[in-house]
Structure 1
Amino acid sequence: MSARKSERIMNLTICLLMARRFVEREQIREMVTGYHGLSDAAFERTFERDKDELRALGVPVETGSNSTLFPDELGYRIRRRDFELPEIDFSPAELAALGVASSVWDDARREGDAVTALAKLRAAGLDPDVERVAGFAPSVAAREPAFESLWRATVAARPVTFVYKGVARVVEPWRLLSHHGAWYLIGYDRTRAAGRSFKVSRIDGVPSTASGQVSAPDPAEVARHVASLAAKRDKEAIVAVRDGAAHELVRFAEPVTVDVPAGFSGWRIKTSSDAGEIASYGSDVIVLEPASLVAAVTAHLEAVASWR
């Protein structure tokens, strides 16, 4: 199934699942992204195929009418009780994996589709039930420009090429994971001939697919890289953060009472010895303690200023 068709069928599912009443064809045509711009005949063919596709996948698309006076005016909906799976027992490990999978969509576009569909259903007077699609909204942000390409490459086991800290890399992706509010790619860096971890927000532009295959990694090596991400943040620091800025930095931080400039707040953070990470926030973050990190960040900023 093509990506465009998958998105269209997903939008159709959201539309029919959110509606309490039957949604007529013309309303579906107006509300579902993917049907716009089609001729009458093309819409009829496409909609029928999509409806058949959903039913073949086991999605119970129901046909009916909202009017007893005009029963021929047919519409469609998906009943929640028919759509939901029966109760299933999972082990703790399986539940943890499912929790992560359900909270991460491959990008934020699906959430936007759901919001758009919700607004259109309300405008059409169809009284959408928000609780029915609560699971469609991702709770883990994935807004880095490089994320979607890396996600698809990791799932498909395809090498990728991108620029990281000014160096062109060719990487065989092993794992893509979120740690302290930031996404990291772990993989085999062909350029360095070694396993490496990359902070996704620091990748320049959008990665592209590279040639070759992804070799199966040693699980122990992957585990070492995962552990190293936690180890890199084993040092504490006190910082002043401009109010409303550096959300990623303070997301897991602890507020502290210290003397800070007006418009700033004090935070205790877990950080690494990488001064560049904090320096990247510029004037929005001021390091107060420890003195060694203050000196390192100051030196980093001075070096950047002199280079410019």
Structure 2
Amino acid sequence: MAQRTSERLLNLTIALLSARHWVTKGQLRELVTDYRRMSPVNFNRTFERDKEALRALGVPIATGSDEAFFEDEPGYRITRRDFELPPVDFDADELSALALASRVWREASAADDTISAIAKLRAAGAQVDSRRFEALAPRISASEPAFDVCWQATLDRTRIAFRYRGADELRTVQPWRLVWRRGSWYLLGLDEGRDAPRMFKLGRISSGPTTVGAPGAFTVPADVDLGGLSRSLEPAGPDASALVAVRAGFQPALTRRGNPAAGPGGLALPEDFACWRIEYSSREDIAAQLAAAGPDAVVLEPAELRVEVVRLLRISARRPA
């Protein structure tokens, strides 16, 4: 499939998925950039072809009308519950590949055409919930500030230097691979100061990383099994758990690492929230993830974790917008 066709189909899907009401064909012509450039005859032909292409891919495009907005003109939309996939389990390498794809998605979802399409939908009177097309995005983030430098260094075989866990020591590392473990990114590489492989959590890199020297400075030893080595060096499993109320349909990164649970007796949960038992090994890491969830997650227990999340939220609230 040509790149332009793929982009047009993605923009059409976003427009249909983000609208709460039916969107007419005429509105879609104004929303999707490629359609605006076509003659009426070419647009009608291309639009019909695009609908069939999306349906062939399994995208459930519904047809209907809402007389309050469109009178007798038929409209189109995608219902999120029919569109979303059921939970899918991936291994670590598959998760790493999806995470890279998610970085591309974040750029696409903030692109000018997408922003323009949402604005035009709202201007046309449609009630747009832009969170609905989050269903299109892979559910892995790479938000650590160190990610970009580390990823590029693994591709270029460039040594990097950084400080870890707030220590004064400057670590110089040959980056071999980035791996996704338990909701976080880790760097696997040769710590030159210790002359031994080490695994570093990107979120705990406190200064840097910066590149050292030129690309092509090292090669990964041929006898090193990177998969086996990363498994042997990965941190210990969870040794604590939290009871968290999560808003239904939000924060899949949290719910996928937990199990549904009963709430505390006598406690009424907010509307559309459900309880999850989530295991963790680092209170610092889980607190940061829960604070980032904002109003979509509420810590019920343990009390010390709840206190830490509240502390982080208060710090965030004091920061200038």
Query: TM-score band (shorter)?
Result: 0.3 to 0.5
Give the TM-score taking structure 1 as reference length: 0.48
Greater C-alpha radius of gyration? 1
Give the TM-score taking structure 2 as reference length: 0.46
